[in-house]
Structure 1
């Protein structure tokens, strides 16, 4: 009963918080047909400032802390990001009318991290006066990059195997005819012409090429979200940005976050229509996956808590970033890395359902769970 009461109290508080309030508000005005638009350039500036602030917080904390404390949480972050991709590969991809490559891309997006969801969790932890390591925000790239890389690698391996299998089947089929004389009516289907065998051999050869990992990592690092985050971390470690942090970035943080939530709410509503074009299993996955992913990370976080003293607030952050799905860096990275995947499936599942579930339900759920375990 203590856990349930804590959860419902936190859930009600989250409904009343500006973070979720602006998100729901954005969905409502979009549903009512409002013509309100926030220019894309302004949204990019807001995202840059939010993630730079989070990066600065983490960088300053890393500079003033023992780096060995980060090793286990960082390792768990990497493991969770990769694991989420394989969970989607062997669960979502097996469901009716779900294309494997779309399922893998969805897993990559859910394995990657939402900066806005993480920012919302940090805000609520501060409101609840629950302590956490300031460097916990720096776990973001340790989960985000491995998830995106894993998704792109797994998808390309799958596509290459599929291409190679198709080429092998065709060449095997034609091999029995290769020594027979060719007559005009022997190949009514154009794709069966012997002249096309060379094309299939080229496809097979291209499928044998290995997926290159570094370009994927490089593209992720150069994305706007991670660039801002890593810039903030680097400045926090290598310089003394406390004065500009305290006078500019910190005071503006919550206001800018509320504007971003409004934008995300409007976009979430627009993406709901796109989900109708793909299998309804994406809706089920988007409702269940954030809790499953978060619980896995929460369990690993508890191991770090008992083994190294990792705070319960840090455990909550680890669980929330696992429950979140990337809304900034992930989509463009996956569009480039898995161009054959359907964005309506993985972006629609993430933005329309995954993000509201992570912010509105998962944050209070894991916060309440941590408070129940901590006895407060």
Structure 2
């Protein structure tokens, strides 16, 4: 186990993340141009989608039914469990919903680091797992927003108002997400790029591989370490924001991945995945989104404090998964195998 942890700590992705973290903590003037950070993000999102589509082109729906069910189950179970845990610790409703959406969704960069980890360890995984990243991006956001609307509806079952005739009337408040929220969740940058890449890769199959390979396969690892450097800078800047919330919120950033990761590994075992596939399912369950979920929360739950869900996702859960989580989920997968 120690060898696995040391191997992960010394991987290029983790070392570049650590470099960015140190630079931010020591107030370095190192900064990524906003346009470059955006370009790196677009590249990674599209690359993940294309790889998933190419992988899916080799399989039928019957072959994927179990892993699809396991993945969608995570998108429903995790946000509900996260909200209930937050509510038990007296976290206010809107910030609890923000954490539910963030931890129910998935970190693409953590998943990319997990792929590098398996490649370094020479461990096989089912190629169609790349497609599961796309499927897990939106369900938790929609489930979280539905929970919020349902609770608001339950608390305020009727809203009173004055008619032009001066008569007090009441109307039922809708408890489902409005169309704008659904559009933001399904057509936001991350989901659109991954779903678009997935569709293009699936439709093109092997015919597209010679065109996709030079940019999206060969250069993927190099682009990832640049993105990890930028993530280290962002995480270091977010860490001080958590102090105002006491010990409970940082504790969530540690508990949630270590709780959900093993659940994902077990579901991967149920779905019949290989050791590498089980580990990746654990990573999907343990990681927290800092792209799609925050984008949806800003427009639909403005009461939720971004420093809470972004601070935890970037400042605690992300580095925790890189340093401890990846070897832990791999170790559990080996044990179950």
Q: Please give the range of the TM-score, normalised by the shorter of the 2 chains.
A: over 0.9
Structure 1 gaps of 5+ residues are: 1-6, 172-193
Is the counterpart of residue 286 in structure 1 residue 253 in structure 2? yes
User: Equivalent residue for 1:76?
Assistant: 70
Q: Is the 8 A contact 2:50 2:198 kept in 1?
A: yes
Q: Does the alignment pair 1:341 with 2:304?
A: yes
Consecutive unaligned residues of structure 2, counting only runs of 5 or more, are none
* 1:11 corresponds to 2:5: yes
Kindly indicate whether the alpha-carbon contact (under 8 Å) linking 1:81 and 1:111 is maintained by their aligned counterparts in 2.
yes
Q: Distance in 2 between matches of 1:93 and 1:275?
A: 18
How far 1:279 moved relative to its partner?
4.1
Q: Could you tell me which of 222, 231, 241 is aligned with 2:187?
A: 222
Give the match for residue 154 of structure 2: 161
Aligned-partner Cα distance in 2 for 1:268–1:164 = 41
Residues of 2 paired with 1:32 and 1:273: CA distance? Answer: 12
Matched, 1:31 2:25: yes
Alignment root-mean-square deviation, CA:
2.2
- TM-score, length-normalised on structure 2? 0.92
- Give the aligned partner of residue 127 of structure 1: 120
SS in 2 for 1:322: helix
C-alpha spacing 1:62/1:214, structure 2 compared with 1 (3 Å): farther
Q: Which residue of 1 aligns with 2:89?
A: 95
The answer on whether the counterparts of 2:149 and 2:177 sit within 8 Å (CA) in structure 1 is no
Larger Rg: 1
1:109 aligns with 2:102: yes
Quick check: 1:88–1:107 contact (8 Å CA) kept in 2?
Answer: yes
Paired residue total:
333
1:351 to 290, 314, 318: 314
The correspondence of residues 358-373 of structure 1 with structure 2, limited to 5 A, is: 358-373=321-336
Q: Is the 8 A contact 1:145 1:217 kept in 2?
A: no
| Offset of residue 369 of structure 1 | 2.0
Q: Distance in 1 between matches of 2:268 and 2:335?
A: 15
Q: Give how far 1:87 is off.
A: 1.0
Aligned to 1:245: 212
Counterpart mapping for 1:130-279 below 5 A: 130-164=123-157, 205=171, 208-212=173-177, 215-239=180-204, 240-279=207-246
1:175 aligned partner: none
Distance in 2, matches of 1:218 and 1:102, equals 22
Q: Report the CA distance between 1:163 and its aligned residue.
A: 4.2
Cα separation, 2, equivalents of 1:256 and 1:109:
24
